[in-house]
């Protein structure tokens, strides 16, 4: 698969974890403002995690495009991550109580974590776009109340789908197993990004391929 080195990616996300993943892949990128607070949005009852995250990723990308100067080179990348437990979509907890309740529900169970990605040509956002999602599963062992309460008190759950960051929980020794791409759980499917970016070859707004 040809590597899209030199392609200018405009990341419509303030997530430091997504920026770290792109940097680790050696992809040149710039962070731009999507002006979307997805914490205030609620998925409809009939939404799946895949459809919801893809829709949110595209919404973020389109909102970011509205703030760009016409003719800005590059491709806009929006992304969104949600957990799905027992058929219910779980986004970012709004309060410490929400975070604790969510983690208790995840204790001893397996959840699906879905990250949707939208790659959009700012010059032709309706016709030149790639909308796709990747899924991984996360299984927590038993999480006792003391463990959950100590974690929630740190406020590290804020801004994270499901109320946790995978690498941080692994580093802290939480009982957790992952099937699939761990970076999908963190917020951006690293294993598939080059494949998805290659689908946009030929778009005029990339600013050139190396």
Residue numbers annotated as active site: 80
Block residue for tokens 């419509």: 12
CA–CA distance, 39 with 35 (Å, rounded to integer)? 12
25-61: string of b/e by CB count within 10 Å (b at 16+)?
Answer: bebebebbebebebeeeebeeeebbbbbbbbbbbbbb
- Count Cα neighbours of 15 within 13 Å in the Cβ-side half-sphere: 29
Block residue for tokens 């946009």: 200
């Amino acid at each position: 698969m040809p590597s899209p080195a030199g392609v200018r990616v405009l990341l419509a996300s303030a997530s430091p974890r997504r920026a770290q993943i792109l940097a680790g892949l050696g992809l040149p990128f710039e962070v731009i403002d999507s002006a979307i607070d997805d914490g205030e949005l609620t998925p409809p009852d009939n939404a799946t995690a895949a459809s919801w995250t893809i829709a949110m990723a595209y919404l973020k990308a389109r909102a970011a495009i509205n703030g760009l100067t016409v003719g800005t080179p590059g491709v806009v990348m929006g992304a969104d991550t949600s957990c799905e437990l027992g058929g219910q979509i779980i986004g970012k907890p709004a309060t410490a109580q929400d975070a604790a309740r969510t983690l208790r529900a995840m204790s001893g169970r397996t959840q699906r974590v879905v990250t949707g990605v939208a790659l959009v040509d700012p010059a032709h956002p309706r016709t030149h776009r790639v909308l796709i999602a990747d899924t991984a599963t996360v299984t927590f062992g038993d999480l006792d109340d003391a463990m959950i309460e100590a974690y929630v008190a740190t406020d590290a759950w804020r801004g994270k789908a499901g109320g946790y960051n995978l690498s941080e929980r692994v580093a802290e020794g939480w009982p957790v197993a992952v099937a699939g791409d761990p970076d999908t759980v963190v917020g951006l499917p690293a294993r598939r990004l080059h494949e998805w970016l290659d689908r946009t070859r030929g778009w005029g707004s990339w600013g050139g391929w190396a």
